[in-house]
Structure 1
Amino acid sequence: MDEYGRDHARKQGSAVAWVESPLQMLCAVEAHHAGLLGDRTRLVPRAKLRPLTVTGRELSRLALPDGLELAGPEPGMPRPPHRRTWVVGDAFSGKVQVGWLTAFPRRIVVVDDGLATIRLLELLSGRVGTPLLRARASAGPLRTALGAAAGLRLRAAARSGRLSIFTALPVPAELAKAVQQTGAELVTHDFSWLRSQPLRRPRPEERTVVLGTSLVRNGLIHRDRYLTWLAGLGAAEPVAYFPHRREDPDDLARVREQPGINVYGGGAPAEMTLRGLAAEQRVLSLPSTAVTSLRVLLAARGVAVETVEVPEEWWTPRAAPSLRSHLSMFAHHDTGVTR
């Protein structure tokens, strides 16, 4: 499908977006604003996830793009009417993959889901037949077969010009070229809708803002090393700590005990809660998706967003070299990426 055909397809019909994380929800809004989804989009969050409830509440206070509907939560992936555009974030979800195989969406749009988005691009442009499975997944024969079938269906959508990936992540130029050679459309964005919205919450008073991490709960870095580092920051100056949505409550309780650390309420994406920081403030984070997006959002405000390199002794045996390599792409401004 040529570019004219893609543009024509976007202007027709409607889309259903199934989101399972705050970042997916925000990026689905940005994709609709960018004109990638058609003139009407129904945004459906997964039920019983508090961060999605918080994010939806934050979004409802802003001027949503015309044609976007914030629908009520549903426990499972909705079955969009035949031939609509399907928007998802987690391409490795079994429910999503079954949906691709049992229905015939007009188009498929994948929005950001953190590091998993980069893995999807690598698998999509890699060897045909490779199953779409999470990097650290231990899958049995049936799940592997589902991932392989979903990979074939997604590659077929790419060849026919019916697959778009919408991302704000730094995609290495060589990988971007390989993805485009499959026929998939790779669309980058800079949160233009969010940047246009007025600020509705006060910024934290602390000069230093630290983003929480899921690396501890996932068993990839040692808990005590991480907490010792935070304690050192709090001893030097007051610190505003914004938890990761998957941080363990017991770990957060220990963070709150650290002198000088003020833990703020979590839930909404950092892109929404921290976009009003002032030039004299700074953001510290272990490697994460939020590093890239906050640099985009805060560049004009003169706010430094710094990635903390993970010392070798912090890593656990579960942190494979390939994972460390993936995370390193979020560490630097100059990454040799395409945008």
Structure 2
Amino acid sequence: MNGSSPGVEQHGRDHAREQCSAVAWVESPLQMLGVVEAHHAGLLGPRTRVVPRAGLRPLTVTRRELRRLGLPDGLELAEPEQDMPRPGRGPAWVVGDAFSGKVQLTWLTALPRRVVIVDDGLATIRLLELLTGRPGVPLLRARAAGRPLRSAARTALGAAAALRLRAAAHAGRLSIFTALPVPAELADAVRRTGAELAGHDFAWLRAQPLGGPRPAERTVVLGTSLVRNGLIHRERYLTWLAELGSSGPVAYFPHRREDPGDLDRVRRQPGVTVYEGGGPAEMTLRGLAAEQKVISLPSTAVTSLRVLLAARGVAVETVEVPDEWWTARAAPSLRSHLSMFAHHDTGVRG
């Protein structure tokens, strides 16, 4: 019979995990890039095994591009898997989405020796706020207005995960690795919990040779997930893109979660060319020239691109979301959270 039995395959995965100093589960391109940078920075030990979630095209593209660049010594990009690997007692366990119910349940049942959390967008800042906030608040995502209340079981899981996260911090077994500019007061509060807060500026990626053609358009617009998430009005956003296209050629790089129907409408806008990159903006756009500029609604990519493109003289501008764009689902607290990095960075890294 061809192939291996599930038991043999599981044994092989367990053996590979035991040989590593860290095992990472990644579900987005930014998480994957964050793990590479954390390994390069020496935060994860000599051997890191990265397991991507199966079935996600952006991860496939990012994985392929990282392999083309050449991985840091000691880092393995494993084959994608459907199931998240359970951490052992030896290797560090690296994740990005600390608000995932599956991740939280694993924290509670597997008891990893050390947890390292890499960037998962602006949710990283919310995680730090909850870690340093009032005890007893569950570890749950920021809710958009109008969403149904969470179940008692989900809230209980979030509360238990928050307690476990604080305990790991107090024991010196929690590290957060981020490229975001954490406000100084919040950074101090995180360190007082006992957690390690390590900042980075994409040192590994900046050291890699530039490759691939860059867009010919002088104006580059980053796509957004705010429309898909029902937080801003679709027509307002598309009208704004049309106005940009009427003023001159625009290169549009979609967000990985944009609605395909919306992208079809963007493609029909005169003056707008949609690029199907698939990988993270940090990798796709790092070769822009000084005469080009990047425009984006508030997003994590704005912060990281400012770091990557500063030496190249490329302007990275954030567009403030007008009040009339927001939908009723965008609660004031959520608007404030999304707008944290609308201006040039004023926080601290590391």
**Does TM, scored on the shorter chain, surpass 0.5?**
yes
State the match for 2:303 in structure 1.
Answer: 292
**How many residues align structurally?**
328
| Residue in structure 2 matched with residue 130 of structure 1 by the alignment | 137
Contact 2:221 2:295 in 1 (8 A): yes
Counterpart in the other structure of 1:223 = 234
Deviation at 1:337, TM superposition (A): 4.1
Secondary structure at the counterpart of residue 170 of structure 1? coil
SS at match of 1:272: helix
- Is the contact made by 1:329 and 1:335 (CA closer than 8 Å) also made in structure 2? no
Q: 1:273 aligns with which of 271, 284, 305?
A: 284
1:121 corresponds to? 128
> What CA distance in whole angstroms lies between the structure 2 residues aligned with 1:113 and 1:196?
23
Supply the AA of the counterpart residue of 1:167. Answer: T
Aligned to 2:170: 159
Indicate the larger mover: 46-55 or 325-334: 325-334
For 1:338 and 1:42, how far apart are their aligned partners in 2?
26
Contact 1:121 1:175 in 2 (8 A): yes
Q: CA deviation at 1:81?
A: 2.8
Give the SS at the match of 1:246.
Answer: coil
Work out whether 1:211 is the aligned partner of 2:222: yes
Q: Which amino acid aligns with 1:194?
A: L
AA partner of residue 113 (structure 1): D
TM-score (norm 2): 0.92
Instruction: Find the counterpart in structure 1 of residue 3 from structure 2.
Output: none
Quick check: 1:244–1:266 contact (8 Å CA) kept in 2? no
**TM-score relative to the length of structure 1:** 0.95
Determine the C-alpha separation between the residues in 1 that align with 2:96 and 2:345: 26
Alignment of 1:103-122 (within 5 A): 103-122=110-129
2:94 is matched with which residue? 87
Structure 2 contact 170–194 (Cα < 8 Å) conserved: yes
Could you tell me whether the CA contact under 8 Å between 2:303 and 2:345 is conserved in 1? no
Q: Distance in 1 between matches of 2:73 and 2:110?
A: 28
| Paired amino acid for 2:40 | H
Aligned to 1:43: 50
Query: Is contact 1:16–1:41 with CA below 8 Å preserved after alignment?
Result: yes
Distance 1:249 1:15 in 2: 36
Q: Does the aligned pair in 1 maintain the 2:88–2:110 contact within 8 Å? A: no
Shift of 1:265: 0.5
Give the drift of 1:83: 2.4
Partner AA of 2:109 in structure 1: T
Structure 1: runs of 5+ lacking an equivalent: 1-11
SS at match of 1:61: helix
Alpha-carbon separation, structure 1, partners of 2:114 and 2:287 = 35
Please tell me the residue identity of whatever aligns with 2:134: R
User: 1:248-263 maps to which residues of 2 (within 5 A)?
Assistant: 248-263=259-274
Letter in 1 for 2:246: A
Q: How many angstroms apart in 2 are the aligned matches of 1:47 and 1:123?
A: 30
Matches within 5 A, 1:135-146: 135-136=142-143, 138-146=149-157
Gaps of 5+ in 2: 1-18
Equivalent of residue 65 in structure 2, options 58, 68, 86: 58
- Residue deviations 1:37-80 (CA, integer Å, cap 9, x gap): 01100000001111111110111101211100000111121023
Paired letter, 1:86:
W
Match of 1:313 among 324, 328, 340: 324
**Amino acid corresponding to residue 128 of structure 1 in structure 2:** P
Q: Which region of structure 1 is more displaced relative to structure 2, 296-305 or 137-146?
A: 137-146
For residues 284-339 of structure 1, the C-alpha deviation after alignment (integer angstroms, 9 at most, x for no partner) is 00000000000000000000000011111111111111111112221111434455
Deviations 1:78-118, CA, capped at 9 Å, x for gaps: 02332210000000111111111111212100000001111
C-alpha change, 1:72 and 1:13, in structure 2 (3 Å) is closer
Percent pairwise identity:
81
